[in-house]
């Protein structure tokens, strides 16, 4: 278990180091590319933000009304067979609606 903890602690720093080494080798301006990616990430976040808010509100309303629990209890035997965790069922149910 210590090996897994050690490797997981090194995963992000090693990934960053590999990206920087690759960028230097290929003569890519790594920081400039990072800034461009960060700008695109902010644009994407702004684009999907209303959808996320809508999903959170819908899940909250369904949970408070206990309708979501009713639906989950009905389909829970099938979900156990498929080994799908009960906690993600609200998202599984609401995902088709969000499109």
Angle at which helix 30-64 crosses helix 67-81, to 10 degrees, equals 110
User: If you write DSSP's letter for every residue of 11-55 in order, what string do you get?
Assistant: HHHHHHHHHHHHHHHTT--HHHHHHHHHHHHHHHHHHHHHHHHHH
How many C-beta atoms lie closer than 10 Å to residue 44's C-beta? 10
* Domain coordinates in residue numbering, the chain: 2-98
Of the pLDDT bands very low, low, confident and very high (cuts 50, 70, 90), residue 46 is very high
CA distance 64 to 56: 12
CA–CA dist 45, 55 (Å, integer): 15
Say what the pLDDT of residue 97 is.
63
pLDDT-based confidence at residue 6 (cuts at 50, 70, 90): confident
Above 70 in pLDDT, residue 86? yes
- pTM equals 0.51
Question: Residue 86: CB partners within 8 Å, gap ≥ 6?
Answer: 72, 76, 79
């Amino acid at each position: 278990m210590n090996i897994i903890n050690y490797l997981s602690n090194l995963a992000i720093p090693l990934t960053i180091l590999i990206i920087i080494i690759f960028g230097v080798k290929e003569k890519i301006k790594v920081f400039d590319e990072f800034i461009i990616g960060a700008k695109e990430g902010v644009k994407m976040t702004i684009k999907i933000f209303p959808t996320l808010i809508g999903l959170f509100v819908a899940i909250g309303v369904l949970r408070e009304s206990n309708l979501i629990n009713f639906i989950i209890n009905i389909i829970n035997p099938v979900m156990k067979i498929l080994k799908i965790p009960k906690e993600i069922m609200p998202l599984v149910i609401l995902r088709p609606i969000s499109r």
